[in-house]
Structure 1
Amino acid sequence: MVNLLLSDSVSESNSDTIVLLSLNVSDKLLTGSLAKYVEPLNGQKLIDNAFEKEGGIVQLSTNPVRRLVYSPVGSVNRDYDDVRRFSEAAYKGIKRAIKAGSKNPLVILPISDGLQSYSLFEAATVLGAYYALYVPLEIREAIPTRAKKLNAINFSNFSSNDKTLFTYRLANAIESGRIVARDIGGSDPERMAAPKVAQYVEELFKNSVVKVNIISDEKQLEKEFPCYAAVNRASAERHKARAIFLSYEPPEKVTKTLILVGKGVTYDTGGADIKAGGIMAGMHRDKCGSAAVAGFFQTVATLKPKHTRVLGVMAMVRNSIGPDCYVSDEIITSRAGVRIRIGNTDAEGRMAMVDFISYFKEKIVNEKLVNPSIFTIATLTGHCCLAVGDNYSIIMDNGPARQLRTAETVQSAGHEIGDPFEISTIRREDYEFNIGKSEYEDILQCNNAASSRTPRGHQLPAAFLIQVSGLDKHGIDSEKPIPFSHIDIAGSSGPFPGVPTGAPIAALTASYLLKDD
């Protein structure tokens, strides 16, 4: 469905709508083949005071294409502007073109002169357009006539042919991953129950460079991943857990190893500490962390980095209610041998991930993986949304990751590609807060209040993951330090109701895959 015109001149063949993205109506850069649009744009501006700021549709009288959608980018040079101005303009422009009846739009990207501070703005713009085209998996499967919104989309006006190829490759690789993330993360809790997620992933990566290994045996899960297995206890057979391991081996010498652990709670009832008062709706989106892991591997499969090894796991599980569900006051011993007293069963995300961190920690130590970094990705806390608002991911480093400036690297890359991050810090108080309150337990899993009502509510679970996985034995004071970063995407995963964003696939791609080809 997605095409790209490998040209820096405007081509209108096979297009029914021009979608013009420009800094303003009177943009002096609209020259050459674009100059013919200046007069009709200025004419519309004279009769519509809101046109320059809000855009709209202009009828073209002399052009082979009779419909022009103008979607203004607006100012990009103020202190608070960022590359999302471009992606948002593309998103709005395509949405408007679709409403007008377009099936084959040609998107004219902003000209790059004077935009040196936005190194990836063209890719971010294309990704904004793609976001408007996503059709939910259930619709594609159930109603084939609605499986796509356009017949084709074309882009033109790139700055150079080399950059065109780079932008095409990058944007399409990221978008292919974001589609996977949206399919898994956004689909309802039956269509994407853990067994069906496993089927989807197996089919996705069949005969690809990504290898899939799935563990479903409950006895094995209980033995190897006891915290994860506790969350799984009350699930019916059709919702039973699947630990989906993914791996990519590069064709040349490995120079770094990325390890991703995703929270994949297919539905979060809260468990025995049930989410009451109407706050359970939307909890099928609690699997967006694992969805992002699968999506990132799809991007990896597309780009095929030469030197980066990528390992990961999707911790798919349902937090159900029933006679077998785990409950507060239980003491569970983690894979790393840490005794945990359960404080709140609605803090299941940290339980689902922590043993897999231990698993990869052991793999790093025993197999001497090259330059490893572990990331957890999760829609983990409401406190994250309170702290930084919607649209932003939070990233937190342990000591070894902080020495590598991992958070700064990801934040900078996210800024360039339009997948923004805020940096938070795990402090000593967070570790101290989690210490067990009696001699029965080493760690208290959670206090009795919601994260959104707990000071430092998004940092505390990050410290828990470090303490309970045994990563606290691999800090900067260790002979074998292991970099670890926790990414909370509760705010950035997308609106509900609405379409998931696929965060943080774009930022991780721009951080770690662009210079490895």
Structure 2
Amino acid sequence: MAFPQVEVFEDYRAAAGADFDAVIVLGDFDAELPADFADFIEQAQQFDQRVGKQALLVTCDVAGGRLITSPTGPLTRDYADVRTIADAAAAAAKIAVQAGVKQPLLVTFGIPSEGRYGQAEAVAYWGLCQALYEPLEAREFHGEEAIEPLTKVGVIGALDEQWLQAVEAGKRVARDLAGTEPERMAPPRFAEYCQQAFAHSPVKVTVIDDIQQLHHEYPLLMAVGRASLGVERHWPCVIRLEYKAPAAEQTLMFAGKGIVYDTGGADLKVGGHMAGMSRDKGGAAGVAGFLKTVAEMRPETVNVIAELGVVRNSIGAEAFVSDEIITGHSGVRVRIGNTDAEGRLVLADLLSHLRVEAGKYPRPQLFSVATLTGHAALAKGPYSAFVPNGPAVSQGTANRLLEAGEVYGDPGEISWSRREDYDFVRPRTKSDDVLSSNNGPSATTKRGHQFPMAFLAIAAGLDGHGNDSEHPLPYVHVDIAGSGVEGGDWQHGKPTATPVACFSGCYLHR
């Protein structure tokens, strides 16, 4: 797993003796220029008015003779955020690769001393790595060194090298799992990747792939996977990842949606809408990525337990269909409204398992992470949607994620769970306890990304753990359908590795 290793320096002079072959300078070039490079930049601007207006390479007397200037524009505006710095780093990274640079030094300047920019240098490094990332299939075919030539990045700032690299390691796992095509990352191979990623680490990996056990313990998940059983390489599995802290004070429990390919099932996706559905495993990928960062950081006081439901929603004679009533792990009877709303079925069984064992751990907090609804992408654009239950609201869980996302360049927005959402999924007869969905697209359904959280709460048995119960359980549903890939392009866009940085910043960084 080769990504540019980071080396941190207090200032430019401290890095002068290192073997860097270019300097990347990021900031607002209309403000005060950095003293170490001001003369070079001003001289270059005399010959080229584009310097400081767009990302460019100029030759001058710096490391490697190459100075790459990449402007952020003003950072003090009300709507500005740290992602601008990541964008500037990404633009510079592309020029660096084209120029044959192997080991650049990354310098930021003029960053406002505001909380929202508290991790600016780290976000710059992660933005550079995001731009450099190449898909797993490409690396396996061409070789990593051939298509990812940068080997080291120097960063100026008061930073923790382990932290920077731990988050990037998690991001790479998330990108690999989310972005890889459906055969290379079919359920058994998804599990194999996880086993390799966590080998010789403190994270325990358990793969549940016995079909009879899955039928018994994860009946909703197996309804989704039913049509895939005719092809052995597509057989579903549940991957359990466990990190036990030596002095645990709180426990994070995750359910990750890992639909390796979503045909829509019997409610088949038509009109070209199936393209990109190999990325419907982005939730499970993001959770696995966060566990990779956990494995690298080894927190002393935070347990992390995850269950990933890795399934192919295939079409065939065995496919489950609308109107079926399936009893989930929780004992709740679910009427199927639309087989293309399959991810919430997988999550419901996973969450139910986590609910049952939550009482064994200190301060449990539950999360589901999924590329769940087109409505989240429509309503939130490139932001993750956090939908908290009552205890999570009372304990400020979603607010802490919101604040961390702003600082660590992985932002989200809060959506509220309302009575209309519970009414939407109410049973219409005594034959069932909850309706999985309506039969229309979520993007054209009112509250299309909020009502699935109500379904999950009911189907997983979490509605019995609200603020009015003896054992409240904070739960936040995280919909990354809008934030999971760059530009919202689910077929070709590069996976963003959300919400690795958000959760890592919230729970691991001090």
Which residue among 462, 471, 486 is the counterpart of 1:471?
462
Change (3 A) 1:199 1:63: closer
Return 94-103 or 406-415, whichever deviates more. 94-103
| Alignment correspondent of 1:503 | 498
**Deviations 1:74-131, CA, capped at 9 Å, x for gaps:** 2111101011121111111111111222222222232657456521112111111111
Instruction: Compute the displacement of 1:461 (Å).
Output: 0.7
| Alignment correspondent of 1:188 | 181
Which residue among 286, 294, 300 is the counterpart of 1:300?
294
> What fraction of aligned residue pairs are identical, expressed as a percent?
42
| Alignment correspondent of 1:379 | 371
Report SS of the residue matched to 1:322. coil
Pair 1:22-2:16 in alignment: no
Distance 1:153 1:444 in 2: 52
Change (3 A) 1:299 1:156: closer
Instruction: Compute the displacement of 1:251 (Å).
Output: 1.9
Change (3 A) 1:145 1:303: closer
| Alignment correspondent of 1:75 | 74
Distance 1:63 1:413 in 2: 36
Report SS of the residue matched to 2:74. coil
Report SS of the residue matched to 1:170. helix
1:330 and 1:342 in contact (8 A); partners too: yes
Distance 2:176 2:149 in 1: 19
Distance 1:50 1:70 in 2: 10
Q: Could you tell me which amino acid in structure 1 is paired with residue 53 of structure 2?
A: K
| Alignment correspondent of 1:319 | 313
- TM-score, normalised to structure 1, is 0.93
| Alignment correspondent of 1:239 | 234
**Deviations 1:465-487, CA, capped at 9 Å, x for gaps:** 00111111110110011110000
Change (3 A) 1:64 1:448: closer
| Alignment correspondent of 1:179 | 172
Instruction: Compute the displacement of 1:44 (Å).
Output: 3.0
Which residue among 270, 275, 286 is the counterpart of 1:281?
275
Report SS of the residue matched to 2:6. coil
CA RMSD of aligned residues (A): 1.6
Distance 1:25 1:59 in 2: 21
Instruction: Compute the displacement of 1:326 (Å).
Output: 0.4
Distance 1:141 1:359 in 2: 36
Change (3 A) 1:319 1:22: same
Return 114-123 or 327-336, whichever deviates more. 114-123
Change (3 A) 1:38 1:417: same
Report SS of the residue matched to 1:277. coil
Instruction: Compute the displacement of 1:374 (Å).
Output: 0.3
| Alignment correspondent of 1:268 | 262
Distance 1:105 1:347 in 2: 46
Distance 1:195 1:64 in 2: 47
Q: Could you tell me which amino acid in structure 2 is paired with residue 449 of structure 1?
A: G
1:107 and 1:153 in contact (8 A); partners too: no
Report SS of the residue matched to 1:410. helix
Report SS of the residue matched to 2:149. coil
Which residue among 439, 462, 469 is the counterpart of 1:448?
439
Instruction: Compute the displacement of 1:16 (Å).
Output: 2.1
Aligned length: 499
Pair 1:101-2:100 in alignment: yes
Report SS of the residue matched to 1:3. strand
Structure 1: stretches of 5+ with no match in the other structure: none
Distance 2:93 2:170 in 1: 20
Change (3 A) 1:301 1:490: same
Report SS of the residue matched to 1:15. coil
Change (3 A) 1:63 1:308: closer
- TM-score, normalised to structure 2, is 0.95
Pair 1:398-2:389 in alignment: yes
Instruction: Compute the displacement of 1:333 (Å).
Output: 0.8
Matches within 5 A, 1:76-475: 76-110=75-109, 114=113, 117-144=116-143, 147-158=146-157, 163-164=158-159, 166=160, 168-235=161-228, 236-252=231-247, 254-365=248-359, 367=360, 369-389=361-381, 391-475=382-466
1:109 and 1:155 in contact (8 A); partners too: no
1:400 and 1:484 in contact (8 A); partners too: yes
Return 91-100 or 282-291, whichever deviates more. 91-100
Distance 1:86 1:145 in 2: 26
Change (3 A) 1:248 1:153: same
Distance 2:240 2:72 in 1: 41
Change (3 A) 1:6 1:38: closer
Distance 1:57 1:450 in 2: 47
2:405 and 2:411 in contact (8 A); partners too: yes
